[in-house]
Amino acid sequence: MPVTAVIGGQWGDEGKGKIVDALSSGADIVARYQGGANAGHTVIINDKTFILHQIPSGILHENVRCVLGHGMVIDPVSLIDEIDSLHGNGIDTTGRILLSTHAHIVTPLHRAMDRATGQVIGTTGRGIGLAYSDKARRLGIRAVDLIDAGSLGDYIRKRLKLAIDQGEITEAELPALKDDIEQFLHASNKLLEYLADTVSVMLEAIARGDSILIEGAQGTLLDVDLGTYPYVTSSSASASGIAAGLGIPARSVDRLIGIFKAYATRVGNGPFPTELEDRTGEQLQNSGAEFGATTGRPRRCGWFDAVAARYACRTNGIDEIYLSKLDVLEKFDSLKICTGYRWNGEMINDFSAAVHKLDKMEPIYEELPGWGAGVSQLTDANDLPDQAKTYIARIEELLEVPVSHVSIGAERSQILKR
C-alpha cells in the first residue's frame, strides 16, 4: 500500500525507530510531521548504533528521501550535528533531506526557557514546547525566514527584548546565550541547502503512487490533545497530526501501524496507572535498557495497560500492531495486563473517561504465565512459546486489533511476522 504511517501507541519509546527503519527499505519517501529534537529514534545495524532525533530513520536506506514536514519544530544546531554524524558514518545524504520551508525553528532562547520552566512536566529541555508556543502566539520564525540573515538577526534581537520585557528570561542570562546564538546563526545558514516545498513533494509523490512511510514521534498518550494533558508534548503525536503536519489530505493514509511495547514505559512526569515502583519495575528497566535516547533519563516502567492501548487504537484508527520488546518479558515467571481501572467503587474501561483523573485510577490486572528464555533467538513467529502466543492473543482480544509482527531484539533483523 502506498502510504503507511507508523504511530506510537503509548508514551513514546515504543521502538518506532527500528520498525520505521525496517519498513523503509523499498520506500521512496519517509516523512516526519511533528515534534523535533525531543525524539530519539535508535536503530542498531550490525552492532553500530544510530540515534536520530529529527531526521527520519529512513535516512539509513540509501535511496530513501526524507521529509521534515512543516508540523515539526527544527533545531538548526542539532540538525546540522545529526547530518554531520551521518556523514561521519559514511551515509550520503545528498538530495535526500528535504526540510519544509514552513517548519518552525527552535532558537537558543526556546531552549533556555525550556530548561528554566520545563521541570514540572519533566520535558526533554529541547525547547519544543516553547517553539510551539511561539508558533501559536504568532511570534515564531520558520525555516524560510533563515534565508535572510539580516532579518534573522533582527528577529533574534527583538524576540530577546520581548522575552526580557515579559520576564521570560532575565538580562543576566544574555551573556550565556551569546555563544549559543552565534552557533545558531552559523547552523541556520548551513540548513539553507535543505529547504524545500515539502507540501508539493508529498502531494506529487502521493499522486504518482510512490511508496511513502510516515513516522510519528513520541506517542498517542503524549499527544497535546489526546494525551495525559498537561503532561504531554506540545504537538499532535497521534495520527491526527499527519494531515496538518505534512499538508496532505487526511484520507491519504492507507495503512496505519501502531507500535506498542509489550509492557509500558514513561519518561518525564505525569500519571502512569500501571507503574511499578518496585523490584519488578527495576528489572523491566534493566532488562529493557529503559534509558532515554535523548536525555539518558531512566524510564519509568510498568505492566501493559490495555485500557490506554485500546484508546490509542480507537482514536488513531490503528489497522495492525507491531508489538516490540517481547524478549524483555522472558525474565518474568508471570506477567500482568491491566484490563480496567477501579475508581470510587466504579469500574472504568474507557481511557477517555479516565484521562483527566488518571492519577486516581487503580489498575485491575489479569495475570498470565511467562515463557522463559530463548525468544530472541527465534526466526519464525510460529515457534514462539505457547505462553507468549497466549499473551499476544490476549492483547489482540482486548485491543480488537491484530498483532501482525513482534520484535524480539534490538537488531534490524529481529522482527517476526505472524
Q: Which residues does the annotation mark as catalytic? A: 13, 41
- Closer CB to ligand IMP, 13 or 330, in the complex: 13
Which of residues 9, 15, 17, 40 is near ligand IMP by CB under 6 A? 40
Q: CB of 369: closest distance to ligand IMP in angstroms?
A: 30
Instruction: Judge contact between 49 and 42, C-beta under 8 A.
Output: yes
Indicate whether 113 belongs to the interface with ligand IMP (CB under 6 A). Answer: no
Which of residues 42, 54, 78, 124 is near ligand IMP by CB under 6 A? 124
What is the number of other CB atoms lying within 10 angstroms of the CB of residue 218? 30
Question: Rounded to an integer, what distance in angstroms lies between the CA atom of residue 375 and that of residue 275?
Answer: 25
Question: Rounded to an integer, what distance in angstroms lies between the CA atom of residue 371 and that of residue 389?
Answer: 9
- Closer CB to ligand IMP, 211 or 240, in the complex: 240
Cell numbers given for 211 = 511508496
Indicate whether 39 belongs to the interface with ligand IMP (CB under 6 A). Answer: yes
- Closer CB to ligand IMP, 58 or 340, in the complex: 58
Q: Quick one: which segment of 91-99, 217-225, 248-256, 351-359 binds ligand IMP (CB under 6 A)?
A: 217-225
Q: Quick one: which segment of 118-126, 198-206, 345-353, 382-390 binds ligand IMP (CB under 6 A)?
A: 118-126
- Closer CB to ligand IMP, 65 or 70, in the complex: 70
Cell numbers given for 183 = 552557533
Question: Rounded to an integer, what distance in angstroms lies between the CA atom of residue 232 and that of residue 226?
Answer: 9
Indicate whether 234 belongs to the interface with ligand IMP (CB under 6 A). Answer: yes
Burial of 252 (0-12, 13-18, 19+ CB in 10 A): middle
Q: CB of 227: closest distance to ligand IMP in angstroms?
A: 9
- Closer CB to ligand IMP, 53 or 65, in the complex: 53
Q: CB of 193: closest distance to ligand IMP in angstroms?
A: 27
- Closer CB to ligand IMP, 211 or 238, in the complex: 238
Nearest residue to 176 via CA among 105, 110, 109: 109
Q: CB of 139: closest distance to ligand IMP in angstroms?
A: 18
Instruction: Judge contact between 59 and 96, C-beta under 8 A.
Output: yes
How does DSSP assign 48-112, residue by residue?
EEEEESSS-GGGGSTT-EEEE-TTBEE-HHHHHHHHHHHHHTT---TTTEEEETT-EE--HHHHH
Question: Rounded to an integer, what distance in angstroms lies between the CA atom of residue 44 and that of residue 57?
Answer: 11
Instruction: Judge contact between 222 and 236, C-beta under 8 A.
Output: no
Quick note: the x/- pattern for ligand IMP over 172-211, rule CB under 6 A, is: ----------------------------------------
Contacts with ligand IMP in 2-21 (CB under 6 A)?
A: 11-13
Indicate whether 267 belongs to the interface with ligand IMP (CB under 6 A). Answer: yes
282-290 — which CB contacts under 8 Å span 24+ positions?
283/331, 283/332, 284/328, 287/328, 287/331, 288/261, 288/263, 288/325, 288/328, 290/13, 290/265
Q: Quick one: which segment of 123-131, 206-214, 250-258, 373-381 binds ligand IMP (CB under 6 A)?
A: 123-131
Q: Which residue is nearest to ligand IMP (CB)?
A: 268
Tell me whether strands 48-52 and 264-266 are parallel, antiparallel or unpaired.
unpaired
Angle between helices 174-191 and 76-88 (to 10 degrees): 60
Which of residues 9, 216, 247, 268 is near ligand IMP by CB under 6 A? 268
Which residues of this protein are in contact with ligand IMP, per CB under 6 A?
11-13, 38-40, 121-124, 126, 128-129, 217-218, 222, 231, 233-234, 267-268
